[in-house]
């Protein structure tokens, strides 16, 4: 059978292209433009298009130009989620994150002390104390060229009744729970100040502050003491970013 030289040529081209696609020759790697943070900041937006990439030589990461400016390309390898439990004052050390984090976000809820809970406050209905206080917080900490920037906010109420709310925010902490009673008065606080990033995690210094309400009673549903907060623990969820 006579072979068509045109089809043979096409076949050879495809074979060559496939072979080149499998090569490990670095000449075939994509070369992304490199620039320092100072150079990136000096780019004229008029010269940029959505989707453009640049390798930031200060952070050793690839950034993509978006409607919100240059943002780091994130992958599963850049993000890690985990948890820890605060059970008293002192330094909490989180380790074994598979990279060196540069920022972390936190979330927690009052009276959620462990990883597996499915119950009410465990004391009784209309409890006036800290066990019936509820609310949630969000916080973060990040490394700004060697300086720690952190913030937390919290809002909550009380299961006895809600005559007023309990609210809290702090730029000196990344974790903060302000337990409030039915009138929004403080039943105590748990605060965590971000201390440092490590090669595989971070450290937080935890402080407990007594509440401002005292109600002496032999009835545990009514008895409230300023130092009740010292019996509290807190489950904290976090997300770390490379």
**Is the pLDDT assigned to residue 60 strictly greater than 70?**
yes
**Among the ranges given (3-12, 138-147, 176-185), the one the predictor scored with the smallest mean pLDDT:** 3-12
Question: Closest Cα to residue 85, out of 111, 125, 114, 61?
Answer: 114
Residue-level pLDDT at 30? 79
Question: Closest Cα to residue 106, out of 147, 132, 142, 78?
Answer: 142
How many residues in total does the chain contain?
Answer: 242
Domain range annotation of the chain: 5-73, 77-241
Residue-level pLDDT at 8? 56
Question: Closest Cα to residue 224, out of 132, 142, 150?
Answer: 132
Instruction: Return the CATH number of 5-73, one of 3.40.50, 3.40.1620, 2.20.25, 1.10.155.
Output: 3.40.1620
Phi, psi of 74 (to 5 degrees): -105, 140
Q: Give per-residue pLDDT as tens, 131-177.
A: 999 999 999 999 998 999 999 999 999 999 999 999 999 999 999 99
Q: Give per-residue pLDDT as tens, 84-138.
A: 999 999 999 999 999 999 999 999 999 999 999 999 988 889 889 999 999 999 9
- pTM score, whole prediction: 0.73
């Amino acid at each position: 059978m006579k072979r068509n030289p045109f089809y043979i040529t096409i076949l050879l081209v495809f074979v060559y292209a496939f072979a080149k696609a499998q090569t490990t020759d670095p000449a075939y790697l994509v070369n992304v433009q490199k620039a320092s943070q100072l150079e990136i900041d000096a780019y004229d937006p008029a010269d940029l298009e959505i989707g453009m990439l640049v390798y930031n030589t200060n952070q050793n990461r690839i950034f993509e130009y978006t409607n919100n400016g240059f943002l780091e390309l994130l992958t599963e390898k850049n993000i890690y989620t985990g948890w820890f439990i605060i059970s008293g004052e002192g330094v909490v050390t989180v380790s074994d994150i598979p990279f060196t984090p540069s920022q972390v976000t936190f979330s927690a809820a009052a009276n959620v002390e462990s990883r597996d809970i499915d119950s009410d406050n465990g004391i009784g209905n209309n409890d006036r104390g800290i066990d019936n206080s509820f609310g949630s917080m969000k916080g973060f900490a990040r490394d700004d060229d060697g300086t720690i920037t952190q913030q937390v906010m919290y809002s909550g109420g009380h299961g006895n009744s809600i005559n007023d709310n309990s609210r809290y925010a702090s730029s000196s902490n990344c974790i903060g729970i302000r337990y409030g009673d039915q009138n929004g008065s403080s039943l105590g606080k748990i605060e965590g100040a971000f201390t440092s990033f490590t090669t595989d995690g971070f450290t937080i210094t935890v402080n407990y502050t007594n509440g401002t309400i005292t109600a002496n009673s032999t009835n545990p549903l009514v008895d409230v003491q300023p130092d009740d907060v010292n019996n509290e623990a807190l489950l904290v969820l976090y997300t770390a970013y490379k």
